[in-house]
Amino acid sequence: MEQMLQTEYECRQCGKVVSIEQYMKDRYCPSCGTLLIKPLRPKPWMFQFSPAIYRWFDRMRENKGTEQWLTSRHVRDIHAGDKVAIWASGEKAGIYAIGEIVTNPRKCPLNPEQEKYWINKEDIYKFEEKASVTVKYSRVIIDRPILEIECRRDSTLSDMAVLKQAQGTNFSLTRKQWNRFIELIDLSAA
């Protein structure tokens, strides 16, 4: 069972983090007054893109640096330090990368370097209206993805939200699913 020493508490409303000492004095956020909770970190997520909308594969071939992702759903739950798997929808659906979220969600115009990869340039406005995060990739596995068919056959991965309700960009994962991705990625690299 995963255990971690909790030395901080977090406001689920505004995201402010306070020390355990501050929490023992007052269990409410000093910024907004919301009850503080123990953060469950890092949380695993899946971010999905459609190759018909965003040329992610081209971008990865040219630049595997950090990348900006919309966080329309779960915006209050996604935080810097959380883990992320990248899922491509469509004909060759599957997991093509894993990484870490390096910024908390915030409204921010799209990184200009990424703009050229958007097929419909009109969609870029969403980054100014909705929160986004920056992701740093630790493994990009374009040549050896974990395809949808393999996920559907796997007892741990077969109940992933992206397989049940494919609409959306952000999906939560269980720690067990995340650990299974790592295991499969390591096996494919051997």
Identify the residue whose tokens are 């596995």.
Answer: 141
Give the rounded distance of the alpha carbon of 65 from its chain centre: 16
Q: How many domains does the chain have?
A: 2
Same domain? 24 vs 77: no
Q: Of residues 125 and 175, which shows the higher confidence score?
A: 125
Residue 36 has pLDDT above 60, yes or no: yes
Residue 3's pLDDT band, with cuts at 50, 70 and 90, is very low
- Alpha-carbon distance 169 to 49, whole Å? 7
Same domain? 181 vs 133: yes
Q: Does any domain span residue 2? A: no
Residue 143 has pLDDT above 80, yes or no: yes
Same domain? 55 vs 15: no
- Alpha-carbon distance 79 to 12, whole Å? 11
Q: Does any domain span residue 161? A: yes
pTM recorded for the entire structure = 0.78
Q: Do the beta carbons of residue 82 and residue 100 sit within 8 Å?
A: yes
Tokens found for residue 126: 């969403």
Structural domain including 18 reads: 8-37
Same domain? 31 vs 48: no
pLDDT, tens digit (0-9, with 9 covering 90-100), for 75-109: 988 999 999 999 999 999 999 999 999 999 999 99
Q: Does any domain span residue 91? A: yes
Lowest-confidence region among 15-19, 77-81, 87-91, 120-124 = 15-19
Q: Does any domain span residue 184? A: yes
Same domain? 161 vs 127: yes
List Cβ neighbours of 113 (8 Å cut-off, separation of 6 or more). Answer: 63
Same domain? 24 vs 48: no
The CATH number of the domain holding residue 132 is: 3.10.590.10
Residue 4's pLDDT band, with cuts at 50, 70 and 90, is very low
Q: Does any domain span residue 26? A: yes
